[in-house]
């Protein structure tokens, strides 16, 4: 079962806890903090530990999954007892708690007889009708409806982006006709999948949702929320880093939807020492982090989402409240609580942010380019013959990756810093400079750090004319 990755950031509000009032000190416009309560966490409808944890931490949002295949086993026949159990659970939450329901999973009667619940319905109207029934059943208690889950992953959706857009188009008016204030979300995209979102826009998705869901709790992620890498040759942050959500916002802006929000319906890191068994990194690194590092990354993620530049992220929901199991497998260890309901270090961090807001300071991520010092030639330098060039680059935070000295469109010197030195210098003699025509010339220096941040500068110099001299005859 894929995870819903969400980020939890602090929001300012007053809340009662243990009979006393405490004021949130969260940054204005910070993403609202939330948490996933999945059925895999056990019988959360009746678990005293689950309810106690939610009342103690008081998240602004709670996200749950609801399986269409289970609740409408035959067309028009609903499992009302289960729907009542959801309503009972919602009633136990503090009244201010907002609820996001992710509705996914097609019954065989709706998908052409397939036993694979990731199969799209043959008629999107059947799904829309089921969600319409739920909106009526919950009488406005649900604030957001998430249309499917990780539709960009075949394990959750076997159809095309165009088929998913058809589902959105059918369901959006079915929800709004009952509750015009409800927020309709694109189902959380795996690892900030901007490419899939662009395909959705190409298929006509615009106007059929109020916000985009993203998931940043990707498999074997052990990088801090502050860390990132650009895609090669671009300044687009790779989708599998936490900060990759900026590419989602860029895709929305390009489509004219920049004013719409992003909801991190899943964010998280697994607290396990097991080895990664997924994808390119299988057998090459750890699959998770220590419990204390999980708590540290949680704080850092919310700190990132408290930055004004990311104000378009409206809510972030940790995946998940309770561990899925007791094994060391990564998917069993995303919880804030262990399987017995005992708090992990991350729960204390989560509750603290929920009650008091972001307590960290400083930047989120290193977007500062390296510094460049050109030691030779100096600006305006006049030379004859070959040209000596000396460049020094420094980046105390990320380290220098490479220095490129561009001599012309087709000629350059290129140097790599294998170990990403904090300071990296190179000297070279350009023999070809002796053949340049007299007059001013310019070289360009480009320096890139480990993260892909780039600095550029130029220096202008003059090649002096070399005047021939007559040889003086020797005297006998």
pLDDT score of 218 more than 50: yes
Task: Evaluate whether residue 469 is within a structural domain.
Answer: no
pLDDT score of 165 more than 60: yes
* Dist CA 167 CA 125 (whole Å): 8
pLDDT band for position 40 (50/70/90)?
A: low
Same domain, residue pair 35 and 59: yes
pLDDT of residue 471: 41
Number of domains into which the chain is organized: 2
Give the mean model confidence (pLDDT) for residues 236-251.
95
Task: Evaluate whether residue 3 is within a structural domain.
Answer: no
Task: Evaluate whether residue 468 is within a structural domain.
Answer: no
What pairs with residue 406 in β-bridges? 412, 444
Same domain, residue pair 458 and 316: no
Same domain, residue pair 341 and 438: no
What pairs with residue 146 in β-bridges? 102, 185
Same domain, residue pair 121 and 193: yes
Same domain, residue pair 300 and 411: no
If we measure between CA atoms, which residue out of 403, 405, 459 comes closest to residue 432?
405
pLDDT of residue 4: 34
pLDDT score of 19 more than 70: no
Same domain, residue pair 376 and 347: no
Same domain, residue pair 229 and 152: yes
Q: How far is CA 227 from the centre of its chain?
A: 11
pLDDT tens track for 65-93:
999 999 999 999 999 999 999 999 999 99
Instruction: Look at residues 307, 323, 356 and tell me which one is the last residue of a structural domain.
Output: 356
pLDDT score of 26 more than 60: no
Task: Evaluate whether residue 1 is within a structural domain.
Answer: no
pTM above 0.95, yes or no: no
pLDDT of residue 15: 28
b/e map 95-105, b = 16+ CB within 10 Å: eebbbbbbbbb
Instruction: Look at residues 356, 391, 424 and tell me which one is the last residue of a structural domain.
Output: 356
* Range of lowest pLDDT (155-169, 270-284, 419-433): 270-284
Provide the residue count of the chain.
476
* Dist CA 413 CA 280 (whole Å): 33
If we measure between CA atoms, which residue out of 401, 408, 395 comes closest to residue 444?
408
pLDDT band for position 467 (50/70/90)?
A: low
pLDDT score of 17 more than 70: no
pLDDT of residue 1: 41
Percent of the chain with pLDDT over 90: 84
Rounded to the nearest 10 degrees, what angle do helices 194-202 and 161-176 cross at? Answer: 70
pLDDT band for position 43 (50/70/90)?
A: confident
Same domain, residue pair 72 and 211: yes
Complete DSSP assignment for 217-228: --TT--S-TT--
pLDDT band for position 38 (50/70/90)?
A: confident
Q: Say how many CA atoms lie within 13 Å of 158 toward its Cβ.
A: 12
Domain containing 399 equals 371-463
Percent of the chain with pLDDT over 70: 91
Same domain, residue pair 454 and 331: no
Task: Evaluate whether residue 2 is within a structural domain.
Answer: no
The mean of the pLDDT values for the chain is 90
As given in the structure block, the two tokens for residue 303 are 């700190």
pLDDT tens track for 311-354:
999 999 999 999 999 999 999 999 999 999 999 999 999 999 99
Task: Evaluate whether residue 113 is within a structural domain.
Answer: yes
Same domain, residue pair 304 and 382: no
Q: 408: domain CATH number?
A: 2.60.40.10
Q: 312: domain CATH number?
A: 3.20.20.80
pLDDT of residue 408: 87
Task: Evaluate whether residue 8 is within a structural domain.
Answer: no
pLDDT of residue 141: 97
pLDDT band for position 41 (50/70/90)?
A: low
Does residue 9 contact residue 316 with C-beta atoms inside 8 Å?
yes
For tokens 């006393």, the residue is: 20
pLDDT score of 294 more than 90: yes
Q: Where are the alpha helices (DSSP H) in 227-282?
A: 245-254
Task: Evaluate whether residue 115 is within a structural domain.
Answer: yes
If we measure between CA atoms, which residue out of 278, 303, 302 comes closest to residue 221?
278
pLDDT tens track for 424-455:
999 999 999 999 999 999 999 999 999 889 99
For tokens 């009488």, the residue is: 139
Higher pLDDT: 20 or 166? It is 166
> Taking every pair of C-alpha atoms in the chain, what is the biggest distance, in angstroms?
122
pLDDT of residue 42: 59
Instruction: Look at residues 295, 324, 356 and tell me which one is the last residue of a structural domain.
Output: 356
Higher pLDDT: 328 or 468? It is 328
Same domain, residue pair 379 and 296: no
If we measure between CA atoms, which residue out of 217, 213, 211 comes closest to residue 191?
217
pLDDT tens track for 96-118:
999 999 999 999 999 999 999 99
Same domain, residue pair 229 and 112: yes
């Amino acid at each position: 079962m894929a995870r819903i990755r969400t980020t939890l950031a602090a929001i300012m509000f007053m809340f009662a806890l243990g009979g006393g009032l405490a004021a949130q000190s969260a940054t204005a416009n910070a993403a609202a903090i939330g948490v996933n309560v999945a059925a895999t966490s056990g019988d959360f409808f009746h678990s005293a530990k689950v309810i106690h944890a939610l009342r103690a931490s008081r998240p602004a949002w709670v996200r749950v999954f609801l399986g269409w295949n289970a609740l409408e086993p035959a067309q028009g026949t609903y499992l009302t007892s289960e729907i009542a159990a959801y309503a009972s659970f919602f009633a136990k939450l503090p009244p201010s708690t907002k609820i996001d329901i992710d509705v996914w999973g097609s019954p065989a009667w709706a998908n052409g007889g397939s036993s694979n619940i990731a199969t799209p319905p043959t008629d999107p109207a059947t799904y829309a009708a089921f969600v319409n029934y739920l909106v009526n059943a919950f009488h406005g208690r649900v604030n957001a409806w998430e249309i499917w889950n990780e539709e960009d992953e075949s394990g959750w959706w076997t159809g095309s982006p165009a088929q998913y857009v058809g589902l959105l188009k059918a369901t959006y008016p079915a929800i709004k006709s009952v509750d015009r204030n409800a927020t309709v979300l694109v189902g959380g995209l795996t690892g900030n999948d901007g490419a899939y979102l662009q395909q959705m826009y190409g298929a006509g998705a615009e106007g059929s949702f109020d916000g985009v869901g993203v998931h940043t709790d990707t498999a074997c992620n052990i990088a801090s929320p502050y860390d990132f890498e650009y895609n090669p040759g671009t300044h687009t942050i790779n989708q599998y880093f936490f900060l990759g959500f900026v590419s989602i916002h860029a895709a929305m802006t390009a489509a004219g939807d920049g004013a719409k929000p992003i909801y991190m319906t899943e964010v998280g890191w697994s607290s396990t020492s097991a080895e990664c068994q997924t994808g390119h990194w299988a057998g090459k690194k750890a699959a998770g982090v220590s419990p204390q590092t999980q708590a540290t990354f949680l704080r850092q993620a919310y700190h990132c989402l408290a930055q004004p530049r990311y104000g378009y992220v409206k809510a972030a929901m940790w995946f998940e409240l309770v561990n899925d199991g007791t094994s060391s497998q990564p998917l069993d260890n995303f919880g804030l609580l262990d399987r017995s309901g005992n708090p992990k270090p991350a729960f204390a961090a989560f509750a603290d942010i929920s009650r008091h807001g972001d307590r960290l300071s400083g930047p989120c991520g290193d977007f500062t380019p390296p510094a460049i010092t050109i030691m030779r030639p100096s600006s305006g330098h006049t030379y004859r013959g070959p040209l000596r060039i000396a460049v020094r680059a420094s980046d105390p935070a990320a380290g220098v990756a490479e220095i490129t000295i561009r001599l012309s469109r087709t000629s350059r010197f290129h140097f790599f810093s294998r170990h990403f030195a904090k300071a990296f210098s190179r000297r070279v003699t350009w023999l070809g400079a002796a053949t340049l025509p007299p007059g001013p010339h310019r070289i360009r220096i480009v320096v890139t750090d480990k993260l892909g941040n780039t600095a550029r500068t130029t220096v202008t110099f003059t090649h002096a004319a070399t005047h021939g001299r007559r040889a003086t005859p020797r005297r006998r």
